[in-house]
A and B are shown apart, each in its own frame.
Chain A
Amino acid sequence: MNSTKQEYKNWQAFISNLGSRVTTRTNKKVWMDLEHFIVLGAKYANEDARIFTAFTHICIILAPILSPFKIKKIINSLLLKDDEFKIIGLMISNIQKSVRNKAQWNNLLMFCKEKADLNKEFKLFKSSSFKVAPELKEWNLVASGLELDNNDKYLNSKKMFNLSIVKMRFNGVKAVYSDLLFYRELNGENESLNQISKKIYHDYNSVYQANEHILIAA
Chain B
Amino acid sequence: MNRPKTLLSALNELNTKLSINDIHIELTIVGSMAIYLNGLNFTRMTEDIDYINYEASDEFLNIVEHISKEFNLPSYWINSRAKEIDPLPQELKNKLKSDNRYSNIALKYIDIETAIIMKVYAYYIRGLEKDLSDLKTLSPSSDQLSKGIDYIKMQIIHHHGKSQYEKDAAEIARFLEFLKHELN
Contacts and interface: CB of A to CB of B under 8 A. Distances in A.
Interface of A: 21-25, 48-50, 52-53, 124-125, 127-131, 133, 143-147, 152-154, 156, 159
Contacts of B48: 153
Nearest to B178: A130
30 contacts: A21-B47, A22-B3, A22-B45, A22-B47, A24-B1, A25-B1, A25-B3, A48-B133, A49-B132, A49-B133, A50-B45, A50-B47, A50-B133, A52-B129, A53-B130, A125-B129, A127-B133, A127-B182, A128-B178, A130-B132, A130-B175, A130-B179, A133-B127, A144-B123, A144-B127, A146-B128, A153-B47, A153-B48, A156-B72, A159-B72
B160 interface: no
A133 B182 CA distance: 17
B47 A24 contact: no
A129 B178 CA distance: 8
Contact of B2 (A24, A127, A131): A24
B182 to A, nearest CB: 6
A112 to B, nearest CB: 22
Contacts of B2: 24
Interface string B127-141: 111111100100000
Contacts of B128: 49, 144-147
Contacts of A153: 47-48, 74
Nearest to B1: A25
B167 interface: no
A217 B64 CA distance: 46
Contacts of A145: 126-129
Contacts of A24: 1-2
Interface residues of B, number: 28
Given A21-B47, A153-B47, A131 B3 contact: no
A144 B1 contact: no
Interface string B34-53: 00000000001101100000
B149 to A, nearest CB: 13
B19 interface: no
Contacts of A21: 3, 45, 47, 74
Given A131-B127, A144-B123, A48 B44 contact: yes
- Interface SS of chain B: helix
A50 B130 CA distance: 6
B6 interface: yes
A159 B123 CA distance: 31
Interface of B: 1-3, 6, 44-45, 47-48, 72, 74-75, 123-124, 126-133, 136, 174-175, 178-179, 181-182
Given A130-B127, A153-B48, 13 more contacts: A21-B45, A22-B45, A24-B1, A49-B129, A49-B133, A52-B129, A53-B130, A124-B129, A125-B129, A127-B132, A127-B133, A152-B74, A159-B72
Contacts of B174: 130
A126 to B, nearest CB: 9
A152 B77 CA distance: 10
A130 B123 contact: yes
Contacts of A154: 47
B129 A143 contact: yes
Nearest to A151: B74
Contacts of A22: 3, 44-45, 47
Contacts of A53: 129-130
Contacts of A146: 128-129
Nearest to B128: A145
A177 B127 CA distance: 43
B112 to A, nearest CB: 20
Contacts of B178: 128, 130
